[in-house]
Chains A and B, each alone.
Chain A
């Protein structure tokens, strides 16, 4: 009887052998007052027969050997009926009971009505439309990260190289430390290096904003589902694309995400492919170089790079699957497609902030350390007449060290010590490619000498004014995602010091094919080792041998792909 006087008309009954043992075990356990006081006897007997280890320990403690022996005897008798799977049988019988009960009590439509998510999924995960929709959304993401974020990139750059640099110089002159190596370290090392990377925060913020919307709305799981299906058809382990999705953000968790694959071969294979997915740290390099060499189609170039990464990963996967990794059939799996929902501002902000914070943490540790080391190597003269922090950069220790590997990159069109040095330091982290390029190509601008002295208040006003202007430009750029250009056409501007120096550098190293060399450089950055932390993760997950296979393999593929782009491009152009 229940407390309100109703007796359930249905009682869950197990198969007779189980019921018999439940009754017997309940009676045996009922001789122990401590157990009776704490637990309903039938419930306790069910849990014990299903193998609840915690309750078994409790029963041994309170009921002693009599209770333990009674349990062991019941189990032994049931094993003759159910073998080792007694718990499976008991749970299965409960599911059957509930299922039958629900079938009697509920009237369901023969064809369940389609939810909104089902309707959208019919289009989004459609066999033919799924991949074009995925590519279309990627296109929107990269237009957002290039066109809409660009005004804010220019704004931060102007603030760091203008007012912030002036404030530092003014502070140093007040303390009598201006004009020396300390000023060079702060301006040419910290501001040029770390600041050069920090200007790309709006780009990453836009990328993380777009990714957060795709994830929070439920689309990201669909994109993985669609790509999985494609990979499965190509004979690859479809589940490999799940870690790859993470690789768009960062290669390190993507490598750890391969743990979800059961087969070690699949895990290693996916671990070798994941670094080809373009991580967010590479984006600043793309934006910097694409904005210089392909200003009118930067979004298209970046989109093409992301697509190239996916295609190289799939192509290499097929090759390895049919050679080194055997040709086993992929394991089927279930993927959860959460219902579509409107992304919440709170979730979007949390993801944007956490991911940007991870980037900032990187900036203040690895990038700052590397920038200072590069500054030191650039300040050390190895030839010429200049002293410490006064030497020409091409006579510095950094130029000498980088020059050693320059011949390797010469056939790719970017065989200069500047780009070689940037790629070398890029092994530490991809953002460092940008900071190194800004440091090595940093030409003292004439405008610095002609700069009009301003007060602190005027600087603040100018910063505020330029922010409003950047916001207005960014808003005007939003319709450009769908091809509507609201921004006034600008006259082609003369390149500033850095842009001009980078252009000249690539032109000189490529025999006048600067744009082609820049594209080959971007392809190389896309395909070679993401960063030293990813290398450490690969070593931890797959061992030293596969770590070296990964590093060397990525380098060879990056080199060959860049060679094809540069030499192939020269042949056709």
Chain B
């Protein structure tokens, strides 16, 4: 099952939404999220939430939740 997630990503053409992928794999979005988190921990997938602007860019006050401009960026997951 876990390998199917990587396989589906390798075979997909263009960007795919999380919902679309969960339908394609016939998995609940919550289950798929867990699988993605596992592969992110294993270093096979990269989650944009973990590569956010680290602040300290000197341009703005980063605020409690990080850079206020960067928060508008949607989350994405990519094969490494």
Binding site for B on A (CB under 8 A): 87-88, 91-92, 95-96, 98-99, 112, 118, 121, 125, 211, 215, 220-221, 224-225, 228-229, 232-233, 238-239, 242-243, 245-246, 249-250, 252-254, 256-257, 259-262, 330-337, 351, 354-355, 357-358, 361-362, 531, 533, 536-537
Contact = CB atoms under 8 A, between A and B. Distances in A.
13 contacts: A87-B42, A88-B3, A245-B74, A250-B60, A253-B59, A256-B54, A262-B79, A333-B76, A333-B77, A335-B18, A337-B74, A358-B59, A358-B68
A88 B1 CA distance: 10
Contacts of B36: 334
Contacts of A225: 15, 17, 74
A334 B76 contact: yes
B18 to A, nearest CB: 5
B72 A215 contact: yes
A87 B77 CA distance: 21
Nearest to B57: A252
Interface string B39-65: 000100010100111100111110100
B22 to A, nearest CB: 10
A537 B46 CA distance: 22
A239 B38 CA distance: 22
A119 B10 CA distance: 28
Given A252-B53, A260-B48, A361-B61, 7 more contacts: A91-B38, A221-B75, A229-B14, A334-B36, A334-B77, A336-B77, A355-B69
A262 B80 contact: yes
Contacts of A118: 19
**Which among B12, B48, B63, B80 has the greatest number of chain A C-beta atoms within 10 A?**
B48
Nearest to B29: A336
B58 A536 contact: yes
Contacts of B60: 250, 252-253, 355, 358, 361-362
A521 to B, nearest CB: 24
Contacts, number: 173
A211 B78 contact: no
B12 A332 contact: yes
B15 A249 contact: no
Interface in B1-43: 1-3, 9-10, 12-19, 21, 23, 27, 31, 34-36, 38, 42
Nearest to B74: A221
**Which among B1, B18, B67, B68 has the greatest number of chain A C-beta atoms within 10 A?**
B68
Nearest to B70: A253
Closest 3 pairs (CB-CB, A-B): A358-B60, A221-B74, A249-B69
A331 B45 CA distance: 12
Contact of A250 (B10, B27, B35, B69): B69
**Which among B60, B69, B80 has the greatest number of chain A C-beta atoms within 10 A?**
B69
Given A92-B3, A335-B16, A362-B59, A242 B46 contact: no
B18 A220 contact: no
Contacts of A238: 14-15
A357 B59 contact: no
Nearest to A223: B74
A233 B57 CA distance: 33
A228 B31 CA distance: 25
A245 B48 CA distance: 14
Contacts of B63: 354
Contacts of A243: 73
Given A92-B1, A238-B15, A333-B15, A533 B48 contact: no
A336 B59 contact: no
Contacts of A232: 13-15
Contacts of B27: 99
Contacts of B12: 332
A334 B17 CA distance: 5
B73 A242 contact: yes
Contact of B68 (A245, A336, A354): A354
A456 to B, nearest CB: 33
B75 A239 contact: no
Nearest to A333: B78
B23 to A, nearest CB: 8
A245 B72 contact: yes
**Which among B46, B60, B72, B80 has the greatest number of chain A C-beta atoms within 10 A?**
B72
A96 B1 contact: yes
B64 to A, nearest CB: 9
A237 B38 CA distance: 25
A334 B18 contact: yes
A533 B17 contact: no
B42 A88 contact: yes
Given A88-B2, A92-B3, A242-B73, A332 B68 contact: no
B59 A229 contact: no
A336 B75 contact: yes
Contacts of B59: 250, 252-253, 358, 362, 531, 533
A453 B6 CA distance: 75
Given A99-B1, A335-B17, A253 B75 contact: no
